[in-house]
Amino acid sequence: MFLIGLFSDLKILQSPKKRLVLQAISIFFCVYFLNLEIISTRILFFDYVLSNYFVNILFTIFCITIVVNGTNLIDGLNGLVIGYYSIILYFLLNLNFFYLLDISPININLIFLIFSILLVLNFFNKLFIGDGGAYLLGFLFSVWAIFLQYKLLNISPFYIILLLWYPCFENLFSIIRKKMIRKNPFYPDTDHLHQLFFNYIKNLTKYSKTLCNTICSIIINIFNFIIIYVGNLDPYNTFLQIFCLIIAVFLYIVSYFLLFNFKNKYN
């Protein structure tokens, strides 16, 4: 998965469709050999459909692919992706998830240290994760999310969705938005939420691009931290998780259209 992104960064693999096909193949082998599956959604009809082995494989591949490409879409501000996954890492640590995987405390501390260093370097324009890093993080955390339900069977599947809601919704929203305006969803544009927010802050404050970049990243990640924190108060409560998801999606959509109108009005 990292190599697919790396070849994209090096302009060797520029076709979005070819990258998507290679991602799907890679994810298929991972899902098949690791026996990954979505155990439960707590929606009876959907769980019945997912009881079919082949449907479950396809759905699992679809979910991981959405997270992987959604992570790449939000990788437009310094520290946004690494900061977001650092937040998820923090809550996974709170759930003792890595101890359940028998990962030693030394390695757990090493993972957190690496993320902290990467975040600082990313904030100061000293390191960029690129497509390779975005694909790898999206892939790794989506697989961890599936393992989370294996290890904590009573945890709400909607809590897992809440952990990864931002890259998932960014991807799905982008596809729907581009389809509505008859744009090819495979090709990038500059109308993602974080880009519109950056444009707003830059025009409002007249700060340097680097500072505006950092401010936007921090604000978005603070919002995501608060949303996930509320859900983490009771990760077994499906109603609470759905409530948090509705609030997150509602505020995303409202913010998006306000920022989009600002861009069209003042640019």
- Could you identify the residue written with the tokens 């996974």? 92
Report how far residue 93's alpha carbon sits from residue 95's, in angstroms, rounded to the nearest whole number.
Answer: 5
- Tens of pLDDT, residue by residue over 3-48, are 999 999 899 988 889 999 999 999 999 999 988 998 888 888 888 9
Amino acid present at 55: V
Tell me what the mean pLDDT of segment 46-70 comes to.
92
**Above 80 in pLDDT, residue 198?**
yes
* 8 A C-beta contact, residue 129 and residue 140: no
* 8 A C-beta contact, residue 178 and residue 189: yes
Higher-confidence position of 164 and 184:
164
Q: Mark out the alpha helices in the chain (DSSP H runs).
A: 2-9, 16-33, 44-50, 53-73, 80-94, 97-100, 105-123, 130-151, 157-163, 165-180, 193-205, 209-232, 238-266
Tell me what the mean pLDDT of segment 69-81 comes to.
90
Q: What is the pLDDT of residue 163?
A: 95
- Tens of pLDDT, residue by residue over 102-159, are 777 778 788 888 888 888 887 777 778 889 999 999 999 999 999 888 888 889 999 9
Is pTM beyond 0.85? Reply is yes
- Could you identify the residue written with the tokens 């960014």? 170
* 8 A C-beta contact, residue 72 and residue 138: yes
Q: What is the pLDDT of residue 211?
A: 86
